[in-house]
Amino acid sequence: MRGRHQPWSRERRVVSPTRRQPQSPSSRRLVAGIACLAGLSVSAVVWFRPSPQGGGGAPCPHSRVETKRVGVRDINGRSVFEGVPCEEAVVDAGLCFRNEELYCLPSFIIGGAQKAATGWLRQWLATHPELSQGGEHEVHYFDKLEDSRASDWSSRYLPFFRTASTRHYSFEKTPDYLPNATALAAIRGLLPSVKLVFLLRAPAARAYSAFQHHCRRLRIGAIPASRRSARLRAATTHEAVVFSLEATRAQWARCETLRPPCSPEAFESFLATYDNASTRIVDWGLYALHLANVRSIFPDDQIFVAIGEVALARASAFFEDVVAWLGIRRFDFATLPTYRDALGRQQLRQPGIFGFFDMWYMRLNVAMVHKHAARPMLARTKTRLGAFYKPHNLKLDALLLYQAPAISVFPPRSTIDDGRKRSLLPPSWGGGTTPSS
């Protein structure tokens, strides 16, 4: 992978040229014989290299995967495969490989939703002494595949998960996996027993947050009236606001990039331009639809769904439930040092001198405050989005309460006086089956 350390690459030795000397026929035959033997040795190394598949040294591309593999050691109750893994090897979540350094495939994945506090969850779980985070923030491997076959996992995915010990369980976070059916199928194909954690946020608030997120990355633009196409003029009387990742090249060329923070009026125009669900900024909040797709690929007992607003408000109980579900030992996250950044958000203080300077940078980051200082969503826009999302929220609540009891949820399911189950969704979601606590 370009620009990234490749743990399986071998250093090539550069030999400086020397002056050639005349050789006798016998010397030439000797050199040719040595070269032939060397070539055969190299071929043997290439085609019969040790692999996690085993197969008694059969060529990796053609060998059948066996249950009992060659070169496996059991360390701290986990299987560690020695040597270079083959791309075609059948693997699973949590398996480890050692080739000078130790790499362990993730045991669980935080797969979404985008702008629903997944970064907060990743940051806190990474402090658990038995967990090891893969990638600095987000990995984005499965959502970049062209199909559901993760054919280059050992060279492009495994290197993210260098692990200090087999006592550490790796995980990754990529919130774009939840709405991506191809990514989910690829995860299931490579890591069939991996656990999935999804954090959900009120979809209208999530959509506005996502809009501002892309605005800060200069992906939101407005097309002036003089440059608008006839289709856009017919579609809306508002200013045409488009998203660079979904606009055509011709549309984006006519745009004037909006500077952050984008106005709530621009968000309203954006919704009018895209007619709500035709943009991922809106349809990524159709959680019932996406979870139904997840359930068609993964068993329910491998899925944990949390309501983000409740998880943030009851963080200690939430972390305790997640840790218990993952099957790792209990850890008191409340003992970790924290501080408030310039936006008033609680942040973990990192250890050492770099953590000290990072804390003060986050406390005094005026530019971050300006970029995040967006005005609240317009009331009429909030009402419109609330009406759009309400039937989908009802389906989500019914799914988690009644249709999929094997899915672990937070807050935990409970009942009210008449025996009905209490809605999991807080009032800010605007649509549950029963009154929320």
Residue with tokens 């672990």, as numbered in its chain? 408
Tens digit of pLDDT for each residue in 362-387? 888 877 777 788 999 999 999 999 99
Question: What band does 308 get if pLDDT is binned at 50, 70 and 90?
Answer: very high
Residue 141 reports pLDDT greater than 80: yes
Q: What is the pLDDT of residue 26?
A: 55
Region of residue 304 (phi > 0: left; psi between -120 and 50: alpha; otherwise: beta): beta
Question: What band does 339 get if pLDDT is binned at 50, 70 and 90?
Answer: confident
Distance (Å, rounded) from C-alpha 394 to C-alpha 216? 32
Q: Which two tokens stand for residue 274?
A: 């895209």
Q: What is the pLDDT of residue 61?
A: 42
More confident residue, 243 or 369: 243
Question: What band does 135 get if pLDDT is binned at 50, 70 and 90?
Answer: confident
User: CB under 8 Å to 337, separation ≥6 — which residues?
Assistant: 348, 349
Using alpha carbons only, give the angle 179, 108, 101 rounded to the nearest 5 degrees.
Answer: 125
* CB 406, CB 301: distance < 8 Å: yes
Distance (Å, rounded) from C-alpha 245 to C-alpha 252? 9
Q: Active site residue: 68, 115, 390, 421, which one?
A: 115
Distance (Å, rounded) from C-alpha 319 to C-alpha 117? 13
Among the residue ranges 84-98, 204-218, 423-437, the one predicted with the least confidence is: 423-437
195 belongs to the catalytic site = no
More confident residue, 245 or 51: 245
Averaged pLDDT of the chain:
81
Distance (Å, rounded) from C-alpha 437 to C-alpha 427? 9
201 annotated to a ligand binding site: yes
Residue 22 reports pLDDT greater than 50: no
Q: What is the pLDDT of residue 341?
A: 83
Q: Quick one: average pLDDT of 33-44?
A: 50
Q: Where are the beta strands (DSSP E) in 244-324?
A: 256-257, 303-307
Q: Quick one: average pLDDT of 341-358?
A: 85
Q: Quick one: average pLDDT of 110-123?
A: 95
Q: Which candidate, 116, 252, 124, 120, places its Cα nearest to that of 176? A: 116
